[in-house]
Structures are given as structure tokens and as C-alpha cells.
Structure 1
């Protein structure tokens, strides 16, 4: 069974950024909601997880997102990016 409720459940994956405790509650158009559901379904992830990845990509950039998705330590990349000679 592949109903809308099952696509809203947790994926079972651990997030590279740690425990996810904060939430966004934003009004969107029905068109945007339907598009988010469609894209999440195509990727095989819940809508919330898909939207979190879209927001993280916008906030942190493409390279950081690729590192997060690959499971590498993003914090160490940010720390060492400041020009230290390590």
C-alpha cells in the first residue's frame, strides 16, 4: 500500500547532522505541496525528508550536501576551510 500517509513516515535513515528536533510549519500552495509529494515519491523518500534536503542544499550549498549524503564529516570540512595549514 502506497498512500499519502506512508510517504509521510520516517525513512529509518540517520541524519548526518544529528538529531532532528526543530520543525518548520509554513503555509504553501496546493500546487507546491503536490509537486513536493511527486518529487519525494520519485526519489523514494518521505516528503519531509525530501524538503529538508532541498532546504539544506539552499542553505549549505551543493558540495556540503554531497558530503552529507555520502556520510562524510561536514563539520571538519567547514572548520578546516578557514585557511588553516592542517
Structure 2
């Protein structure tokens, strides 16, 4: 039974990540890469064991990071709460 719950939860997480991905693409088109990264990091699924969820979330975060030209200044402008999410 726990496998079904995890699978259902994983599907819900994937759907949220897909929605978040569309929002991030919109922010990147508006030349708002810092907002895109913050959006990518918010609501990240740190406790899921599903590799699909982890991978999908990493792709979204990576896309936002790669759009940022000055990563050093980005990190100084981020709230410390995002550091933990980035490290995971």
C-alpha cells in the first residue's frame, strides 16, 4: 500500500514541477533569472525518495542557474534559506 501512496505522491510532485517549469520559462523570457531561480528552489521536494522527482526538480533548478550570468552576486542576493535547498 505504501508503494501506491508514494507513486501517487510522486505523480503529484511531477505535475507541480512541470507547472513550476512553465513559470520559470516565463520569468526567464522576462529577463528575471533571479526570480526564476527563487521560484525553482521554492517548494523543492527534499524528502521524496522518487528519483524521477529529484531529477525533474534538478533540471528546473539547473535551467534557472544556467540563465544567470553573475552567479557570485546571485548568491549574495539570495536569502540563506535557499542555500540548504541548493546544496541538496
Q: TM-score, normalization: structure 2? A: 0.30
Larger Rg: 1
Greater share of residues in helix: 2
Q: TM-score, normalization: structure 1? A: 0.31
